[in-house]
A = this chain, B = another copy of it.
Amino acid sequence: MISAAQLKKFSSLLQKKYRDEEHLFLIEGEKLIVEALRAGKVISAVMKLNGHSVSDELESRLNKKHIEIDNVKTEQFRRLTDTVHPQGIVAVVSSEGLIRDDIGGVSAPVVLYLNSITDPGNMGTILRTCHWFGVKEVVLSKECVEVLNPKVLRSAMGAVFNLNFYLLPSGRLVELKKSGYKILVSDMNGEDISDMKPHPKVVIVMNNEAHGADNSVLQTADGIISIPGSGKAESLNVAIATGIILFKITTL
């Protein structure tokens, strides 16, 4: 049985401050929990609403790891989720080593650099898209919304467990350049991506929709790339733009 102190601690993980302090985060719903287990993540507790039923797959996966499911009451369960329609089961996962700050070992052909992506829905959708296209290396500027934010986790749909994250200020993009990466920045009035040429190692930089690329990014850029449009709309949503560019670059 879960103690009052444990419940309080787990409930606090809905806030970034405590996620940072405890190196733990909450995930909700069976699908995400299975995804975390599949990816070999360390789960320290699983709690379900009294009477909520669990699939055989989840049960057997948890059994293998000797993880027990705690049954909790409705009032307790509500403290573990920020959703209006909770999914009946949550898990506490270790975030140890999930976000690195050393990009020295990165050598994948395509790396995504997210510069000040602050909207959780956009962040989650971008991560889900990375997973689709097999772009595993995701570098975040420190202004980005936290990838362990519950809203990000929901729209990422398990992608978080299949990607490698790095935290790197935009001023340090030059480190990737020095290791042989070509830095392509998405912005207005750049080269039409339809004319993009393949390159063995490329970093795609996506910027905040409202602020665009900052100077340190532009100074490091080997090229500016743009998505062709009819010229009538002001801008594209950043997650849509990322999807289109990742499609283009992974099918060159």
- Judge whether A167 is part of the interface by a CB distance below 8 angstroms: no
CB under 8 Å from chain B, chain A span 201-247: 227-230, 232-237, 239-241, 243-244, 247
Residues of B within 8 A of A158 (CB): 234
User: Is B232 in contact with A162, judged by CB distance below 8 angstroms?
Assistant: yes
**Residues of B with C-beta under 8 A to A121:** 121
A131 at the binding interface (Cβ < 8 Å): yes
Against B, the Cβ 8 Å flags (1 = close, 0 = not) of A145-181 are 0000000000101110010000000000000000000
Contact with B along A117-131 (1 / 0, CB 8 A): 000010001001101
Residues of B within 8 A of A236 (CB): 128-129, 132, 243
Q: For A129, what are the chain B residues with a Cβ–Cβ distance below 8 Å?
A: 236-237, 240
Quick one: which of B131, B159, B233, B247 contacts A159, CB cutoff 8 A? B233
A60 within 8 A of B: no
